[in-house]
Structure 1
Amino acid sequence: MRIAELTALLHLASPALPIGAFSYSQGLEAAIEAQLVTDADSARQWIARGLDDVLARGELPFLAHQLERWRNHDVDALHAENAAFIASRESMELRRETEQMGWSLRQLCVSLEWGDASRRVTLSALQPIAQPTAFAFAAFVHDASPDATLAAYAFSWVENQAAAALKAVPLGQFAGQRIVVALRDAIEGAVTRALATSPDDLNTFAPQLGILSARHESQYSRLFRS
């Protein structure tokens, strides 16, 4: 991997990236409220299932295909698949999450003038824009490879989930780091599966997540927006 590619992906995967990832738990807080997650082991299992059942089957392959569409500048497909991904979100909170983070990442890309002018026009025209679509644009303009792009995205997701568990379970710092380390191989497996998934085989079916996310909308006490 080139140094420029590595540093670009480290930037995009950083929790310091100003897109608001820290404010979302993607259903984890609702799982804690339902006592499905009560300690470090159950938190690790929950995050591992999300990586395997949600990201690897849906979000990561979608990201890979959007990356290729940005490479080809297939405007019609970018619009159609971006809209389909947003429509697939299981709850109002999860839809708002991807839209808000996608909007924030797009603002960053535009303000830093990443990419060529014609693709920035396409990026700005995507209203609303899903986070993976914006992430794919940012990865493309830095000439990042698909496997590295997906690995960075998946690691960022796992790290954010572990950070949410630290606050909401709560867990200690070492417990959170153990979760991240334990899922390194799972991230590699998720990326491998995602890269082998065709557009027609994307699957976002996650009924438990959808139910918990919908419950979170009216949960009495909340630290997170999803």
Structure 2
Amino acid sequence: MRIAELTALLHLASPALPIGTFSYSQGLEAAIEAHIVTDADSARDWIASGLSDVLARAELPCLAHQMERWRTHDAARLADANGEFLASRESAELRRETEQMGWSLRQLCISLEWGDAPRRATLASITPLAQPTAFALAAYAHDAAIDATLAAYAFSWVENQVAAALKSVPLGQLAGQRIIVALRGPIDAAVTRALMIAPEQINTFAPQLGILSARHESQYSRLFRS
């Protein structure tokens, strides 16, 4: 991997990227409220399940296919696939989350002039915008490989889930690092699986996540927006 590609992906995966990732738990906080996640082991299992059963089946393959569409600049299919991804979100909270982060990442892409002008114009025309569509352009603009981009995206997701667990289970820092280390292999497996999924095979069948996320909308005490 070229140093420029690596540093670009580290930048895109960084929690310091100003798109608001830190304010979301993606259902984890509701799982804690429901006593599904109570300690480090159950937090690890919850995050691993989200990685293999949700991210690897939907978000990662969507990201991969959107990167290819940015390469060919298939504006119509980019918009259609973006709409399909938005429609697949399991709750209103999860949809608002991807729209807010997609909007924030679009502002970065346009302000920092990532990608050429025609592709930035296409990005600006897709409204509302899902995070994977915006992330795909940002990665494409930096000439990142698809598999490496998916790994960076998945690692960023895992890291954010662990950060949410540290605050809300709560867990200690060492427990959080153990979870990240334990999920290195599953991240590799999730990327490998995602690369094999055709557009018509993408699915987000996660009923428990949908129920918990819907409950979170009216949860009495919350640290996170999802």
TM-score (normalised: structure 1): 1.00
In the other structure, the counterpart of 1:216 is 216
Q: Secondary structure at the match of 1:68?
A: helix
Aligned partner of 1:149 in structure 2 is 149
Match of 2:40 in 1: 40
Structure 1: which amino acid aligns with 2:71? Answer: R
| Matched residue, 1:133 | 133
Q: Deviations over 1:126-165 (max 9, x none)?
A: 1010000000000000000010000000000000000000
Alpha carbon RMSD of aligned pairs, Å?
Answer: 0.3
Structure-1 separation of matches of 2:31 and 2:23: 16
Alpha-carbon distance between aligned partners in 2 of 1:137 and 1:107, rounded to the nearest angstrom = 12
Alignment partners' CA distance in 1, 2:126 and 2:176 = 36
Work out the number of aligned pairs and report it: 226
Partner amino acid, structure 1, of 2:49? R
Residue by residue over 1:48-79, the C-alpha shift from the partner in whole angstroms, topping out at 9 and shown as x without a partner, is 00000000011000000000000000000000
1:99 matched to which residue of 2?
99
Corresponding residue for 1:158?
A: 158
Amino acid at match of 2:46: W
Q: Which residue of 1 aligns with 2:86?
A: 86
Q: Provide the rounded CA distance (Å) in 2 between the counterparts of 1:162 and 1:56.
A: 18
Written as runs of structure 1 = structure 2, the 5 A alignment for 1:53-64 is: 53-64=53-64
Identical pairs, percent: 79
Amino acid aligned to 1:210: G
The secondary structure found in structure 1 opposite 2:110 is: helix
Mark the runs of 5 or more structure 2 residues left unpaired by the alignment.
none
Deviation at 1:124, TM superposition (A): 0.3
Structure 1 residue ranges (4+ consecutive) displaced by more than 2 angstroms after TM superposition? none
Give 1:192 shift: 0.2
Match of 1:110 in 2: 110
| Aligned-partner SS, 2:95 | helix
- Answering whether residue 168 of structure 2 is matched by residue 168 of structure 1, we say yes
Query: Aligned partners of 2:13, 2:162: CA distance in 1, in Å?
Result: 14
Shift of 1:100: 0.1
Corresponding position of 2:120: 120
Distance (whole Å) between structure 1 residues aligned to residue 118 and residue 137 of structure 2: 12
